[in-house]
Amino acid sequence: MAVEQQIVKDEPTRERLIERIRGLSLEKPWAFKWGLWRKHRTLSQMGLVHQWFDEVGKATGNHPEDVKHGYKDLFLTRVEKTWRGKTRLALPSLNDLNTLEMSDFMNQVQADALTMGIPLTEPLEMQKR
């Protein structure tokens, strides 16, 4: 069954969601996850973080994809993913992060690169290109 996301920003939407929940069959259990909605990471965040993976890769002799996976392993929390009926813990995709989560991840990447003496492109420098 597909997971559905519903963003509630007004009273009519909230009421419709409550009515849908009331109408659910209780023959099988349902799971709900609640949280504040935030926009997904931005394209500019993705462009900059991939530029950083390239820069760290060049400085350390690692492939940018290996740098990305290394940083994801260091700084992101594994999430449960189910495929073909089997659930496992996996690293989230950067595409699944919201803007705040992506900012936190990028701050950690930048701080780690600085501890290795690797200067990274600043966001304003990217806008000039």
pLDDT tens column, 73-100 = 999 999 888 888 889 998 988 988 888 8
pTM over 0.85: no
- Among 26, 28, 27, 4, smallest CA distance to 17 is for 4
Structure tokens of 77?
Answer: 């929390």
Orientation of helix 99-115 relative to helix 43-60, angle to 10° = 20
* pLDDT band, very low/low/confident/very high, at 118 (cuts 50, 70, 90): very high
18-32, 57-71, 113-127: least confident range = 113-127
Position of tokens 């989560």? Answer: 101
